């Protein structure tokens, strides 16, 4: 079941890449395993998944020792500053940085643990009240400010598009994020690349890929519905 879901998602990614002349290797599938038991993560790992997305610090701490060490953990949820220290040496990429104060804490903890933190700046592209993320206008200044901090590098942008029933409705937002990343790349800021665009979830990842996503975050499409609220 899970394996078939995963194969289907991979097949869809391949097709979306083909439609737009992109290489499949350009797109990383992040299996969003939040709320799911370790047995399901193991099943996904056995089927080939190496990148897992979680949105709670506690869940990363519980799960990361239980999967093989070549597993890559992605922090995709809102991160509180006082919890950075618990995951800084466990995660491959923090997708959800939306303030300088959070970036400063990540930098400080990375220095302390002598690691280097790769991060994405989260942009609230549709200006939804309910969502975290910096505005499009503020994002360039935020990237510039973060670029001056030690032990942290901005690798690109992340967005959570609105919940829609027709994924085409989000195409414009994906396009705007991509344009924003091109604008930021043109600034040639030291220690900053715009090589990653983390956008697209179960409902809209194919459209996101057509618009340039390099990381898609798929939960329900792989693991099935979640029965817990608040995520
Ligand atoms: C839960 C979550 C996802 C995955 O959502 P699905 O619709 O289940 O694919 C992706 N990104 C973030 C930030 C999430 O919190």
CB atoms within 10 A of CB 30: 27
Which ligand 1 atom minimizes the distance to the CA of 34? 1
- How is residue 33 annotated by DSSP? -
List the pLDDT tens digit at each of the 231 positions of the chain. 899 999 999 999 999 999 999 999 999 999 999 999 999 999 999 999 999 999 999 999 999 999 999 999 999 999 999 999 999 999 999 999 999 999 999 999 999 999 999 999 999 999 999 899 999 999 999 999 999 999 999 999 999 999 999 999 999 999 999 999 999 999 999 999 999 999 999 999 999 999 999 999 999 999 999 986 545
Q: How far is the centre of ligand 1, averaged over its atoms, from the C-alpha of 165 (Å)?
A: 15
Please state the atom number of ligand 1 nearest to the C-alpha of residue 226: 8
Counting from 1 in the atom list of ligand 1, the atom nearest the Cα of 205 is 9
Per-residue confidence (pLDDT) for residue 228, from 0 to 100: 66
Tell how far the Cα of 150 is from the centroid of ligand 1, in angstroms. Answer: 30
CA distance 118 to 130: 26
Q: Is 163 in the pocket of ligand 1 (CB under 6 A)?
A: no
User: What is residue 229's predicted lDDT score, i.e. its pLDDT?
Assistant: 52
Residue 68: helix, strand or coil by DSSP?
Answer: coil
The reply to whether ligand 1 has any atom less than 6 angstroms from the CB of 200 is no
**Tokens in use for 181?**
């990343």
- Predicted confidence at residue 227, as pLDDT, reads 81
- This prediction has a pTM of 0.97
Question: Are the C-beta atoms of 89 and 111 separated by less than 8 Å?
Answer: no
Residues counted in the chain: 231
Alpha carbon of 160 to ligand 1 centroid (Å) = 8
- The CB of 224 under 6 Å from ligand 1? The reply is no
Ligand 1 atom index nearest CA of 201: 9
140 burial level (CB within 10 Å; 0-12, 13-18, 19+): middle
Ligand 1 lined by 202 (C-beta under 6 Å): yes
Identify which of 230, 152, 227, 202 has the alpha carbon closest to the alpha carbon of residue 9. 202
Q: How many angstroms does the Cα of residue 231 sit away from the middle of ligand 1?
A: 8
Confidence at residue 153, expressed as pLDDT on a 0 to 100 scale: 98
């Amino acid at each position: 079941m899970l394996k078939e879901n995963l194969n289907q998602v991979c097949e869809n990614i391949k097709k979306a890449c083909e439609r737009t002349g992109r290489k499949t290797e350009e797109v990383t599938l992040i299996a969003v395993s939040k709320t799911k038991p370790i047995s399901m993560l193991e099943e996904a790992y056995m089927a080939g998944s190496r990148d897992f997305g979680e949105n709670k610090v506690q869940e990363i701490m519980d799960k990361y020792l239980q999967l093989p060490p070549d597993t890559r953990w992605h922090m995709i949820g809102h991160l509180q500053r006082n919890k950075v220290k618990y995951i800084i040496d466990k995660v491959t990429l923090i997708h959800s940085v939306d303030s300088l104060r959070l970036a400063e804490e990540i930098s400080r903890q990375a220095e302390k643990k002598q690691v280097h933190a790769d991060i994405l700046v989260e942009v609230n592209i549709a200006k939804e009240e309910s969502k975290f993320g910096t505005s499009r206008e503020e994002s360039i200044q935020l990237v510039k400010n973060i670029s001056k901090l030690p032990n942290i590098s901005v690798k690109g942008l992340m967005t959570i598009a609105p919940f829609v029933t027709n994924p085409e409705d989000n195409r414009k937002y994906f396009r705007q994020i991509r344009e924003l990343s091109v604008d930021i790349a043109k600034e040639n800021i030291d220690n900053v690349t715009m090589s990653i665009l983390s956008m697209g979830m179960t409902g809209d990842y194919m459209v996101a890929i057509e618009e340039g996503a390099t990381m898609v975050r798929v939960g329900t499409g792989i693991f099935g519905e979640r029965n817990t609220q608040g995520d």
